């Protein structure tokens, strides 16, 4: 009985393969893609003192469908100096963070990748350990170092290098140091993975053929690690643009990154449509680097 029922149902039931693919697919669609639709919708609404604090886009009233689109917030994002300034500032901070991370991280990864296998696993674990401990605590930790009476200033004054404490806390220095510190492990992990996989026989061949060490580095090592450099730089740059916690804790009141602006729009001014428009603008701004990252990741997956 149940068997024949099953056979009758079979053509209408999705195959196991379809179900296996569809389940995570739908989960991601609902909780990753659909939310963007909500953001786009509310970015066209207007502020209103109500719960939730925005006007409806489409209303059915007396048999008429009334659609009210408000472009005011996009105009503000595109023309307001506060917004434009903070977008540029965020891009600048993110670019600088990425560059400094590369300058610190590349030589470190290179050295670790070239040391003997037992040692390099231990070293990489040591790089990643801070990545696992609380992000919030790691940002907070820098207050104790950067303050006027903090560790850095105390040591420098004690060593008679400076007389007056350096101003490092609650300004752009603090922000940048905190950013580099927190994003360094993100950069080092993929970069290391690329450098350690590299075929060393090419380098040997180059040296055998008479290349000087620096020549071999610039003609072989650096070009071969290009993909690793790009992937790990994007892994730092993209999230860094939207950083909120680090500028809030270590930056000054003028370190106005977009993340902070959006937070204030949302929680302080309760202007959800403005925050939504700013979100859309940020997504558009980051679309290109994200597509680039996606392409690299896909190639990585297919290479495996």
Q: Between residue 165 and residue 224, which ones bind another protein under the rule CB under 8 A? A: 181, 184-185, 200, 203-204, 207, 213-214, 216-217, 221
According to DSSP, the residues that pair with 47 across neighbouring strands are 54
From the CB of 119, what's the least distance to another protein, in Å? 10
Residue 19 contacts another protein per CB under 8 A: no
Q: Which of residues 264-293 bind another protein (CB under 8 A)?
A: 266-267, 272, 275-276, 279, 282-283, 286, 290, 293
Number of residues that bind another protein (CB under 8 A): 95
Any contact of residue 235 with another protein (CB under 8 A)? yes
Residue closer to another protein (CB basis): 35 or 223: 35
Query: According to the binding rule CB under 8 A, does residue 48 interact with another protein?
Result: no
* From candidates 112, 168, 191, 274, binder to another protein by CB under 8 A: 112
Answer for which of 144, 162, 199, 254 binds another protein (CB under 8 A) is: 144
User: Minimum distance from CB of 64 to another protein (Å)?
Assistant: 21
Report how far Cα 233 is from the mean position of its chain's Cα atoms.
Answer: 10
Tokens 């068997």 belong to which residue? 3
Q: Which CB sits closer to another protein, 120 or 172?
A: 120
* Interaction between residue 52 and another protein (CB under 8 A): yes
Q: Which is nearer to another protein, 5 or 51 (CB)?
A: 51
For residues 118 and 105, give the distance between their C-alpha atoms in angstroms, rounded to a whole number. 20
Least spacing, CB of residue 276 vs another protein, in Å: 7
Q: Is 35 in the site for another protein (CB under 8 A)?
A: yes
């Amino acid at each position: 009985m149940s068997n024949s029922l099953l056979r009758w149902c079979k053509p209408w039931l999705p195959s196991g393969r379809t179900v296996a693919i569809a389940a995570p697919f739908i989960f991601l669609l609902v909780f990753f893609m659909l939310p963007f639709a909500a953001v786009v919708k509310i970015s066209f609404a207007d502020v209103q003192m109500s719960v939730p604090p925005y006007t409806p886009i489409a209303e059915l009233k007396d048999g008429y469908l009334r659609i009210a689109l408000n472009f005011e917030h996009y105009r503000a994002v595109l023309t307001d100096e506060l917004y434009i300034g903070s977008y540029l500032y965020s891009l600048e901070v993110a670019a600088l963070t990425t560059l400094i991370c590369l300058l610190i991280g590349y030589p470190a990864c290179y050295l670790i990748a070239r040391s003997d296998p037992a040692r390099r696993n231990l070293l990489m674990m040591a790089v990643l350990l801070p990545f696992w401990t609380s992000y919030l605590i790691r940002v907070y930790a820098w207050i104790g170092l950067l303050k006027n009476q903090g560790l850095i200033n105390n040591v420098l004054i004690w060593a008679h290098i400076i007389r007056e404490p350096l101003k490092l806390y609650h300004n752009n220095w603090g922000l940048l140091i905190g950013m580099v510190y927190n994003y360094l492990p993100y950069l080092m992990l993929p970069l290391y993975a690329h450098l350690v996989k590299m075929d060393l026989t090419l380098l040997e061949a180059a040296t055998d053929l008479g290349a000087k060490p620096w020549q071999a580095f610039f003609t072989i090592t650096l070009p071969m690690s290009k993909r690793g450099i790009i992937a790990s730089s994007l892994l730092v740059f993209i999230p860094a643009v939207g950083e909120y916690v680090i500028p809030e804790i270590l930056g000054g009141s003028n370190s106005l990154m977009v993340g902070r602006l959006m937070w204030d729009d949302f929680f302080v001014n309760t202007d959800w449509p403005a925050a939504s428009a700013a979100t859309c603008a940020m997504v558009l701004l980051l679309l290109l680097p994200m597509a680039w990252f996606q392409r690299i990741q896909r190639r990585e997956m297919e290479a495996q």
